[in-house]
Amino acid sequence: MALSFMRKESEMTPEAMVFSDNFAAMDALAEDLDGEIGAERWVEVTNAEADEVFEEIKKEQTFVILTLGSDETTEVEACAELIRKANNAELLVLLVIGDVSPRTMHNVMRAGAVEFAPYPDPPGALQEAINRLRVARTQGGGILGPAKTKSHRSGKIIGVYGVAGGVGASTFAVNLAWEIASIVRSEGRRVALFDFNFQYGSIATFLDVPRREAVYELVSEAGSLDQTALLQALSSYRDRLHVLTAPRDALPLDIVSPSDVQNILTLARDAFDYVVIDMPQALMGWSESVYTAADVFYALMETDMRSAQNMFRFVRSLKAEDLPLGKLQFVLNRAPGLTDLSGKTRVKRVAESLGIEFAHLLPDGGKQVVSCCDQGAPLAEVARNNPLRREIAKVAQRAITLVNTEATAEAT
């Protein structure tokens, strides 16, 4: 049997083959695909045609869209089987999922990692997932890729640490991660933000993302964690930033060991290109694991005496452990403005007394900042022109250059 898309080949190669057996929202999806891909450029096929389709597809030009809209065992198994077959054929796969349970998600993820788009909500998720596939196709690679290619990413770890409570570390981490995600989005890079404050981490609130049940398993069984379990614990902010929130219940910070943290970071490096980590203020046994793994480590403070004393002790403890200081970037939050001359003198004095140089001075962004945190959105989304947002966007640009230059320097 000649397939419809083969007949069309002389006219135009399809960009996507869409498996839609039993997908209730297919009419709406068809309309969206018409808009996103073009009505002539995608072809609807049935599961029964899978073998033939996978054999004929030119993987450089066409990707596969699978759909799953229910927890029905036969459908989940059929979907998992299609994922395995597509992975074997090394095809790029987008899984469009309706309202399914976490257990179903887990089952299909076990079949092999693919790019996901929840459907129909949130708006834009489908479009962004298709764009990522397009980028991946031009780079000849997968998104998360099937298991056998998963280690092709070698993510950069970006640590964020506030030396005293409330100096703005989480605000900085959230906005830095979002700015990086926005900058590298067109290159199909993946960015994650991890909240390592297992006790009172606030990232879930700052981005208004759900705290997944699986986070508890992740931290309590971190030593035996695999990539599926890691990905399952992540929430997503606007489908662009992958977020590991703190668990729902406060946990002791020493619930993870240094080797657990190393394991999490190794998996994270495989799955993402940039991983921003918001550290708790307390220094734990595993803090050193993050510091050692980090490509760059931002230490935030304010100009007050409490911050200065803590920064002094922090740097001294790094020196005592013989840890390299080169990756450390000192950041002063709520720095005095240009016209505040006495403030500027104070900054100079603080830097001198600590024997450090500030890499970045972040301005006070006023009430807008608190209101963004409360609204659960990065500054770029609701207060784009806020001075703090503009400065963090610059830090993000510098961070990308910095970690990639470091990598090049190491390689040569």
Taking the complex as a whole, the smallest distance from the CB of residue 321 to ligand ATP amounts, in Å, to: 23
Closer to Mg ion at the Cβ: 196 or 274? Answer: 196
Question: Which residues does 201 contact at the CB level (< 8 Å), separation at least 6?
Answer: 170, 195, 245, 246, 278, 280
By CB under 6 A, which span of 10-18, 119-127, 216-224, 359-367 interacts with ligand ATP? 359-367
If binding is defined by CB under 6 A, does position 328 make contact with ligand ATP? no
Closer to Mg ion at the Cβ: 94 or 377? Answer: 377
Closer to Mg ion at the Cβ: 107 or 202? Answer: 202
Closer to ligand ATP at the Cβ: 125 or 169? Answer: 169
- Among ligand ATP, Mg ion, none, partner that 171 touches (CB below 5 to 8 angstroms by kind): ligand ATP
Taking the complex as a whole, the smallest distance from the CB of residue 164 to ligand ATP amounts, in Å, to: 7
Which residue in 107, 170, 287, 310 binds Mg ion (CB under 5 A)? 170
By CB under 5 A, which span of 87-95, 144-152, 161-169, 371-379 interacts with Mg ion? 161-169
- Tell me, rounded to whole angstroms, the distance of Cα 7 from its chain centroid: 40
If binding is defined by CB under 5 A, does position 235 make contact with Mg ion? no
Closer to ligand ATP at the Cβ: 164 or 400? Answer: 164
Closer to ligand ATP at the Cβ: 41 or 390? Answer: 390
**According to CB under 6 A, which residues from 260 to 319 bind ligand ATP?**
281
Closer to ligand ATP at the Cβ: 53 or 301? Answer: 301
- Among Mg ion, ligand ATP, none, partner that 246 touches (CB below 5 to 8 angstroms by kind): none
Taking the complex as a whole, the smallest distance from the CB of residue 368 to ligand ATP amounts, in Å, to: 8
If binding is defined by CB under 6 A, does position 57 make contact with ligand ATP? no
If binding is defined by CB under 6 A, does position 168 make contact with ligand ATP? yes
Binding site for ligand ATP (CB under 6 A): 162, 165-171, 202, 281, 333-334, 362, 364-366, 369-370, 373, 388
